[in-house]
Amino acid sequence: MRVYAIADPHLSRVHPKPMTVFGAGWEGHPEAFFRGWREVVGEEDLVVVPGDISWAMRLSEAIPDLLDLARLPGRKVLLKGNHDYWWPSISRLRAALPPGMYALQNDALVVDGVAVAGTRGWQYPPQTPEDEKVFAREVERLKLSLKALEGQPYRHLVVAFHFPPFGPGGEASPLLELAAGAHPQAIVYGHLHGADPAKLPQSYRGIPLHLVAADALRFRPKLVLEAD
């Protein structure tokens, strides 16, 4: 099984929002996103989608976007991004998801020996007291996610964030330290648009760091792990 990751689909079927206002890198979206996915992902593969899935404000408005994702090849693991205002309680979301699609929140998932853990994250370093509260909460969420794997057998681990788990100078955040302590084979994140991946940290303590924002990948999910 191959494990791919791609963040920031920014789908908007109910209330279309052209992404080209954010730069030429979004030309052809969302069709390019669907085409790129189909070009590389197989039915038995696993795709981690760490956030900013839909511009919708309510779950009912996000359902068409989720169904569009569900029709794509592979099994999908979703995490919340900072623009996923439609994301309801996790129990309500899971009840609404199509087969083969999973959502993580304060827990983890194991599929065919591959574990996926993670949380949204937040900007680092925090800029305001409110940011500090949000960031501290995200650290606790990641602890819960990793703890959920205790006692579960798995051979590989991918840790996913929406926000990059490091500061603007590449300095490691407590989230990155915590993730690295779990010894994953890959850490993935999105959120950064228009960034040059070559100028970002490529690894931490020998663990590959993957920017998987859709525009940075030119809308082709990135292979981050080949599971045995």
Q: Kindly report whether the peptide bond that precedes residue 30 is cis, defined as omega within 30 degrees of 0.
A: yes
Q: Is the pLDDT of residue 176 over 90?
A: yes
pTM above 0.75, yes or no: yes
Of the pLDDT bands very low, low, confident and very high (cuts 50, 70, 90), residue 84 is very high
pLDDT of residue 25: 83
Of the pLDDT bands very low, low, confident and very high (cuts 50, 70, 90), residue 140 is very high
pLDDT of residue 28: 87
Q: Is the pLDDT of residue 21 over 80?
A: no
Distance CA 221, CA 7 (A): 9
Mean pLDDT, residues 70-97 taken together: 97
How does pLDDT run across 142-155, given as a tens digit for each residue? 999 999 999 999 99
Residue type (1 letter), 226: E
Of the pLDDT bands very low, low, confident and very high (cuts 50, 70, 90), residue 203 is very high
Distance CA 46, CA 96 (A): 20
Distance CA 145, CA 147 (A): 5
Share of the chain above pLDDT 70, in %: 100
Mean pLDDT, residues 98-118 taken together: 97
Distance CA 109, CA 75 (A): 12
E-only strand ranges, 120-192:
156-161, 186-189
Domain enclosing residue 159, as ranges: 2-226
Contact yes or no for 15/61 (Cβ under 8 A) = yes
E-only strand ranges, the chain:
2-5, 46-50, 75-79, 101-103, 109-111, 114-119, 156-161, 186-189, 203-204, 207-211, 222-226
Structural domain total, the chain: 1
Q: Kindly report whether the peptide bond that precedes residue 125 is cis, defined as omega within 30 degrees of 0.
A: yes
Q: Coil, helix or strand for 10?
A: coil
pLDDT of residue 152: 94
| CATH code: domain of residue 213 | 3.60.21.10
Share of the chain above pLDDT 90, in %: 89
Of the pLDDT bands very low, low, confident and very high (cuts 50, 70, 90), residue 33 is very high
Residue 109 has what DSSP assignment?
E
Distance CA 112, CA 118 (A): 18
Structure tokens at 127: 């800029």
